[in-house]
Amino acid sequence: MRMENKAKSYRILIIFAHPAIRKSRVNRVMIRAAQNLPGVTVHDLYEAYPDFDIDVSREQELLLDHDIILLHHPFYWYSTPSIIKEWEDLVLTHGWAYGQAGRALRGKRLLSVITTGGREEAYQKGGHNRFTIRELLAPIEQTAYLCGMEYLPPFVVHGTHSFRPDDVERHASDYRRLLLALRDGRVDLQAAQLHPRLNADLDSILTS
Amino acid sequence: MYGEGFFFQAFIYLAAAVISVPIAKRLGLGSVLGYLIAGVAIGPFGLQLVGEEGEDVMHFAEFGVVMMLFLIGLELQPSRLWRLRGPIIGMGGLQLGLTAALIMAAGGALGLPWQSALAVGLVLALSSTAIVLQTLSEKGLLKTDGGQSSFAVLLFQDIAVIPLLALLPLLAVHGAFGSAAAPAGMGEHGSTWIEGLPGWAQTLLVLGSVVGLILGGRFLIRPLFRAIAQTRLRELFTAAALLLVIGIALLMTRVGLSPALGTFLAGVVLADSEYRHELEADIDPFKGLLLGLFFIAVGASIDFRLVSSEPVLIGGLVCALIIIKFGVLFVLGKFFKMGFDQNLLLALSLAQGGEFAFVLFTFAYTDGILPKEITGPLIAVVAISMPLTPLLMLLNEKLIQPRFGTRQNLEREPDAIDEENPVIIAGFGRFGNIVGRLLRANGVRATVLDFDSDNVEMLRKLGMKVFYGDATRHELLRAAGAEKAKLLILALDDPEKNLEMLQIARKHFPHLTILARANGRSDAYELIEAGVNFVYRETFDASLRLGIEVLRLLGFPSYQAYRASKTFRHHDEHALRELATMRHDRKAYISHARERIRDLEEILQEEMQPGTDLKRDLGWDTTSLREEFASRHRK
């Protein structure tokens, strides 16, 4: 099976982080939509390492076993929840992920999946947050670059403060569609790079 | 030696039990009813496989009651017994007095002379220790309020049998005064030592025996059992346990006390001893068999000819007996401020005639206190009332409780109806209580099993669902809801008990995820081997935290010390699982002490070698980065 589809099928790893999952309204629904999809591994960092005692070998193996890495989390202080930073510090070691001998992640793809309370208009020059999401995610983009990974625009769910339940469902189903398309190689990556976020116009970047 | 006849009889009794009890249990009737039905089936009015000798069997089997009281004593520390003194004297005394008075009045109304009516009243006021306690313990209700009150009343009745035997001859209307015959059970055999002695000497002898029993239990029996245990012959220990019970029963009979009471007392004295569990395990099968035999004999002794000739009279008397006894107990329960459920349990469980009634009525007849026209039907009434008890309790459990029972609980504390608590904590001492409090603080309801009566009482007051008793009995686990629970936490102080309970839970409730407290490493190994899901060495975390503190005080940066402890923990827990499987083949011949030293060696050796997990914090180490930087700039 895998041999036949190899050209088209990608293994996806979702590195998920939400420190208070029971209080989550959006991310909880989204991550549920991603669960139990063949070819998609959901890895909940706070669940695996409640004491931040990250198992580096295991994490590196997980990364090696997948082709597309997603960092899925709420957008805290224009960045990730702290455990993802800890994860980066400890797992992406010199000589493994980067540096002369560090080639483990080369050719893999990386993208962020984030939710923000503020609306999209707030994230631009002159807006309340003064920078675009893409600008604020520069550290992650550069991390991907340093590790030789292809960086994709983020999947951003904006304006969650004013969400109603069906809004959440809509984004969750978009997320699921994107995951399946990424897995099956049905995303037009060149077209995608033109968008500020992958879900700006999902239909236009998915091929059949 | 007994001939074929004996074996044939044994075969009949055993076969009846083996066939009918499982069927009764399957039908939800409980073992007591099963035995009674078996008795009816093989009795003179069933298959006629046993006849007159059934009565001898009954007297022999009454020894099961003696053993049962010994076992109950074993579970009752003196302090607990002392706390029960109120219910024993208050409730027990009132029950006996009021019931006897009511029955006496009824008898008088039916035209009996007052002496006979009083005799009948006193005898019928007694309930059946065997049936009540067996039924209650089978249902796991012995430790409830109602169960404890029932027990208290039964204990008072047991004590009351002694003066009753002395009193009965005085109530003879016609015929001669009988001799002060021996009390129930073993009583028929042999005479007592106190006959013919002056009153003060009798009292002295009785008191001396009781004091001797207590002192002997305290100071003599322990070294004796220690010596026997050292022989490592299991059957010798069993023999000694039986010897102890039989010896005490004989002694008590000789000085004119109830053997059941004597062995009960001996049990209480031994409740604190380290041999308690062995004694329990050894006596328990004998008790079970004898009680079963006793119930069969009761079933076989029901005189259906008499019943069928006077169905209305007998039926009416049975109803009257049950109603009077029930009524008195229910009112008493209200008076003692018991909850509705518990009160109902108490009143229903004790609403029958007792096995002493057989002895006492026979005695009353032979001594001319009561005529056969009275004792005959009354023995039948008592015999019929006995199997009705488990039936009534079944009715209560299935019909009354579901409809009326739980409502009261609901008003008091909604969460107290925690039949389906997901967590069971065995042992609520210094370890378990921390777990329990954490759960409680987060709204998770746990059912607690504990041996410590102080704990139990305190926790019950807090509204927790607590079962007192030997947590290693699977019946108790079942009563605590193990079938529906998800997690079982083993936090008992005694590592062996923890292990024993783990094995029982694994066997009977394989669906449970089990988390266990381990004393130390070797303990943890055993738990892992026995299939525990998670194991926690009780000193491990505290030691590690102390270690962190030491590193810090020596000048290590806090966080580095903390991370070092994490690495150590990771490593140690890994090694624990690994060594648990490795040590098995050598276990048999290396003593525990040497084993422990060897384990420690293995751990230390492994620590010397750079393990894979040492690279866990490499991401914070810039050594290789600097090297690469330097080499690049040298070019």
B616·A89 Cβ contact <8 A: no
* Termini Cα distance of chain B: 107
Q: Is A51 on the interface with B (CB under 8 A)?
A: yes
Q: Residue B347: what residue type?
A: A
pLDDT value of residue B415: 31
| Type and span of the H or E element at A44 | strand A40-44
Q: Which of A53, A92, A99 sits opposite B619 (nearest CB)?
A: A92
Q: Is A56 on the interface with B (CB under 8 A)?
A: yes
Q: A93 to chain B: nearest residue by CA?
A: B619
> Could you count the other beta carbons within 10 Å of the beta carbon of residue B441?
8
Q: Determine the 3-state secondary structure of A108 from DSSP.
A: coil
Mention every residue, 6+ apart, whose C-beta is less than 8 A from residue B460.
B466
A53·B624 Cβ contact <8 A: no
B624·A55 Cβ contact <8 A: no
Contacts of B618 in chain A (CB under 8 A): 56, 90, 93
Contacts of A99 in chain B (CB under 8 A): 624-625, 628
* Rounded alpha-carbon distances, angstroms, from residue B162 to B253, B271, B356, B360: 11, 25, 11, 11
Per residue in A131-180, pLDDT (tens digit) is 999 999 999 999 999 999 999 999 999 999 888 889 999 999 999 999 99
Answer whether A63's CB lies under 8 Å from A104's CB.
yes
Contacts of B622 in chain A (CB under 8 A): 94
Answer whether A63's CB lies under 8 Å from A11's CB.
no
| Helix B372-395 with B31-42: angle, nearest 10 deg | 140
What percent of chain A is predicted at pLDDT more than 90? Answer: 88
pLDDT value of residue A104: 96
Burial class (CB in 10 A: 0-12, 13-18, 19+), B530: middle
- For chain B, which residues make up each domain, given as ranges? 56-404, 423-634
Please tell me the distance from the alpha carbon of residue B353 to that of residue B357, in angstroms, as a whole number. Answer: 7
B618·A92 Cβ contact <8 A: no
Q: How many angstroms separate the CA of residue A147 from the nearest CA in chain B?
A: 14
Q: Is A55 on the interface with B (CB under 8 A)?
A: yes
pLDDT value of residue B180: 36
Per residue in B535-556, pLDDT (tens digit) is 999 999 999 999 999 999 999 8
Q: Residue A38 is encoded by which pair of tokens?
A: 């063949």
- Count the residues in chain A: 208
Please tell me the distance from the alpha carbon of residue B45 to that of residue B232, in angstroms, as a whole number. Answer: 48
| ∠ CA A104-A108-A114, rounded to 5° | 120
Please tell me the distance from the alpha carbon of residue B144 to that of residue B141, in angstroms, as a whole number. Answer: 5
Q: How many angstroms separate the CA of residue A92 from the nearest CA in chain B?
A: 7
> Could you count the other beta carbons within 10 Å of the beta carbon of residue B315?
13
Q: B619 to chain A: nearest residue by CA?
A: A90
Burial class (CB in 10 A: 0-12, 13-18, 19+), B252: buried
Please tell me the distance from the alpha carbon of residue A109 to that of residue A11, in angstroms, as a whole number. Answer: 11
Per residue in B169-215, pLDDT (tens digit) is 777 765 433 333 333 343 444 456 666 666 677 778 878 888 888 88
pLDDT value of residue B518: 93
Q: What is the DSSP string of B210-278?
A: HHHHHHIIIIIHHHHHHHHHHTT-HHHHHHHHHHHHHHHHHHHHHTTS-HHHHHHHHHHHHTTSTTHHH
A196 against B272, higher pLDDT: A196
Residue B329 CA to chain centroid, in angstroms?
A: 23
| Helix B63-74 with B276-301: angle, nearest 10 deg | 150
CATH of B56-404, one of 1.20.1050.10, 1.20.1530.20, 3.40.50.2300, 1.10.630.10: 1.20.1530.20
Q: pLDDT band at A68, cuts 50/70/90?
A: very high
Q: Which candidate in B574, B623, B624 is best for mutational testing of the A interface (most A CBs within 10 A)?
A: B624
B619·A91 Cβ contact <8 A: yes
Rg of chain A taking only CA atoms, in angstroms = 16
Contacts of A100 in chain B (CB under 8 A): 628
Q: Which of A53, A55, A89 sits opposite B619 (nearest CB)?
A: A89
Please tell me the distance from the alpha carbon of residue A36 to that of residue A26, in angstroms, as a whole number. Answer: 18
B619·A55 Cβ contact <8 A: no
A–B CB contacts, 8 A cutoff, strictly below: 34
* Rounded alpha-carbon distances, angstroms, from residue A149 to A39, A66, A180, B170, B449: 20, 12, 20, 105, 56
B613·A57 Cβ contact <8 A: yes
* DSSP secondary structure letter of residue A26: S
Exposure string (b/e) for B353-369, b if CB count within 10 Å is 16 or more? bbbbbbbbbebbbebeb
pLDDT value of residue B176: 37
The answer as to CATH 3.40.50.300 being correct for domain B423-634 is: no
Q: A51 to chain B: nearest residue by CA?
A: B566
Contacts of A91 in chain B (CB under 8 A): 619
B625·A94 Cβ contact <8 A: yes
* Rounded alpha-carbon distances, angstroms, from residue A29 to A13, A23, A174, A181: 18, 11, 12, 19
Strands (DSSP E) along A57-133, which ranges? 68-74, 109-115
Question: For chain B, which residues lie within 8 Å of any Cβ of chain A, measuring from their own Cβ?
Answer: 566, 570, 612-613, 615-620, 622, 624-625, 628
Contacts of A95 in chain B (CB under 8 A): 624, 628
Q: Is A22 on the interface with B (CB under 8 A)?
A: no
Contacts of A51 in chain B (CB under 8 A): 566
B628·A99 Cβ contact <8 A: yes
B401-405: long-range pairs with CB below 8 Å, 24+:
B401/B341, B401/B344, B404/B340, B405/B340, B405/B341, B405/B344
Which ranges of chain B have pLDDT less than 50?
1, 175-190, 406-418, 588-589, 593, 611-613
Closest CA to B43 of B22, B13, B68, B86: B13
B276-284: long-range pairs with CB below 8 Å, 24+:
B276/B74, B277/B470, B278/B225, B278/B229, B278/B237, B278/B241, B279/B74, B279/B241, B279/B244, B280/B71, B280/B74, B280/B75, B280/B470, B282/B237, B282/B238, B282/B241, B282/B242, B283/B67, B283/B70, B283/B71, B283/B241, B283/B242, B283/B245, B284/B71
Q: How many angstroms separate the CA of residue B624 from the nearest CA in chain A?
A: 7
Q: A97 to chain B: nearest residue by CA?
A: B619
B618·A91 Cβ contact <8 A: no
Q: How many angstroms separate the CA of residue A18 from the nearest CA in chain B?
A: 20
B620·A90 Cβ contact <8 A: yes
Q: Residue B566 is encoded by which pair of tokens?
A: 């994490």
Instruction: Provide the chain A residues 137-176 that lie in CB contact (below 8 A) with chain B.
Output: none
Cross-strand partners of B258? none
Cross-strand partners of A79? A76
Answer whether A158's CB lies under 8 Å from A15's CB.
no
Q: How many angstroms separate the CA of residue B553 from the nearest CA in chain A?
A: 23
Contacts of A93 in chain B (CB under 8 A): 615, 618-619
pLDDT value of residue B221: 81
Q: How many angstroms separate the CA of residue A144 from the nearest CA in chain B?
A: 16
Please tell me the distance from the alpha carbon of residue B625 to that of residue B621, in angstroms, as a whole number. Answer: 8
A94·B566 Cβ contact <8 A: no
Q: How many angstroms separate the CA of residue B619 from the nearest CA in chain A?
A: 4
What percent of chain A is predicted at pLDDT more than 70? Answer: 97
Give me the mean pLDDT over the A90-106 stretch: 94
